[in-house]
Amino acid sequence: MRALEDPPAAVVADLSMPSISGVQLCRLLGSESGTVNVPVILRGSEGRRNHFWAEQAGAYAYVVKGRMGELVRALRRAMERSQAEQEEGFFVVSSTEGMDVRERIAAHLDSALFDSVIAAEVRRLGSSESFDRLIDLLSQFVSQVTTYRWMAVYRAAPARLGVHANSGCSDDAVAAARAAFNIDGSVSLMTVEDDDAVADADGPPAILEPIRFGDMEIGTLALAPRAPVHQNDPLLVKTIARELGGALRMATLVEESRHMATTDALTGLMNRRAFTEWAVRDVRRSQRYQDPFSVIMIDVDHFKQINDKRGHATGDIVLSNVGKLLGRTLRSCDVVARLGGEEFMIALPSTPLGGAVEVAERARMELETANIVDLRGERVSITASFGVAQLLADETIEQLVDRADRAMYSAKSAGRNRVASTSGNTLVPGQLSVTPKVAEA
């Protein structure tokens, strides 16, 4: 304990030594008032794990063994910073010299440091706000601490699987993760693919630990280590899983609250507020790149009569089915929303007026021929009126929707169950190739 008795200007130590590690040495010197400002330079082999632990222990620098010039430069900087002025105020602690420190104290410090650092890093993930972001940040952290073929988190409710793997073997990693958790392809998946995970095809079996929040088991963590398994990997997985419950639960609650705020409960579609926020951004994009953007306003015909004659339960069935049927006519980039009551809206990025009219006509025929049944198993015939408009230069989303709304009422006035469009402020009533089957107004 020479450093504690006669504080030096700087210390150079190996990261791995027989009776005390360099990490433990940093913690010991940092805990004493006489040596708290003594810079410690740690040496060892190359690797993210070693750099990570040296940084977390508070080392002044970490130098790969054999890079003498880098060591001398780091030592010079440390000496300049040090308050000690002695000409020979440093000494080297190497892996061959050892130190008179009791093993149980060293083990206690090592275990406490490992646990506290890992726990603190995982707790920070509580601000992730989404499952996808949580997995992304978790993979960035864990890949600094150990090497692995893949890491996965399974969330039970709502079911979700996140996998971090090397981009060259992502499919195999996902399959292995599903097998480890005993889940099938119906569970929604997100992946993080990069070179931080190694591309080894085979290796030791995955280490699994349950993720708990209070008394509830809310998920499972799995890590497929690289051979040979590092001695700390089982403890690492256990520690992460123990601390991950709070972060995972918080991310889930934030997702659920956002979903409730932006989703129509009956149809599962975007609500008016969410649609408007999305449309404002996409309208700006369309105008910036002069990309066509069209919308379709839809109103279910004679919906009040459905509610009055068949009851509100049947009305809810109709609206729910309309939402599903409209979605079947769309591309992945298109958006459908329920604006309220029996009104729906479809937004079609990169689509001119003519293409939007074709989409509206397909949707109209889809609804007219739909096989919707009420609680008694009786078919409910429905039709809808459609209004189509394309975004004009310098037009706002509110102005665009207003024109589509006026086109929709033009379709209503022309007999319902038809498509009407607007070119600028000119309404173009739609024509039907079949006779509309609508009830009397």
Summarize pLDDT for 407-424 with one digit per residue, the tens: 999 999 999 999 999 876
Residue 92's Cβ-side half-sphere holds a number of Cα atoms within 13 Å equal to 8
More confident residue, 43 or 48: 43
For residue 2, what pLDDT band results from cuts at 50, 70 and 90? low
Q: Are residues 421 and 278 in the same domain?
A: yes
Q: How far is CA 148 from CA 15, 45, 132, 145, 241, in A?
A: 22, 18, 20, 10, 16
Count of all residues that appear for the chain in the document: 441
Question: Quick check: helix, strand or coil at residue 220?
Answer: strand
Q: Are residues 202 and 344 in the same domain?
A: no
More confident residue, 401 or 72: 401
Quick one: pLDDT at residue 94?
Answer: 46
Cβ pair 26, 59 in contact under 8 A: yes
Quick one: pLDDT at residue 427?
Answer: 62
Question: Quick check: helix, strand or coil at residue 299?
Answer: strand
Cβ pair 103, 20 in contact under 8 A: no
**What is the mean predicted confidence (pLDDT) over 383-395?**
94
Predicted TM-score (pTM) of this structure = 0.62
The answer to which of 19-23, 161-165, 215-219, 408-412 has the lowest mean pLDDT is: 19-23
The answer on pLDDT for 82 being more than 50 is yes
The residue with tokens 């497929």 is: 224
Q: What percent of the chain has pLDDT over 90?
A: 62
Q: What CATH number does residue 129 fall under? A: 3.30.450
Is 145 part of any domain? Answer: yes
Q: Are residues 134 and 228 in the same domain?
A: yes
Long-range contacts of 77-82 (CB under 8 A, 24+ apart): 78/9, 78/10, 78/39, 78/41, 79/9, 79/10, 81/39, 82/9, 82/10, 82/37, 82/38, 82/39
Is 346 part of any domain? Answer: yes
Print the domain residue range for 34.
2-101
Q: Are residues 286 and 342 in the same domain?
A: yes
Is 108 part of any domain? Answer: no
Q: Are residues 145 and 245 in the same domain?
A: yes
Q: What CATH number does residue 43 fall under? A: 3.40.50.2300
153 closest CA partner among 174, 170, 169: 174
Quick one: pLDDT at residue 23?
Answer: 82
Which residues have CB under 8 Å from 87's CB, separation 6+? Answer: none
Quick one: pLDDT at residue 110?
Answer: 60
Q: Are residues 368 and 396 in the same domain?
A: yes
**What is the mean predicted confidence (pLDDT) over 32-57?**
83
Q: Are residues 284 and 253 in the same domain?
A: no
Average pLDDT, the chain: 86
**What is the mean predicted confidence (pLDDT) over 300-321?**
95
Q: Are residues 203 and 315 in the same domain?
A: no
Cα separation, 297 vs 401, whole angstroms: 8
The domain boundary, picked from 230, 262, 294, lies at 262
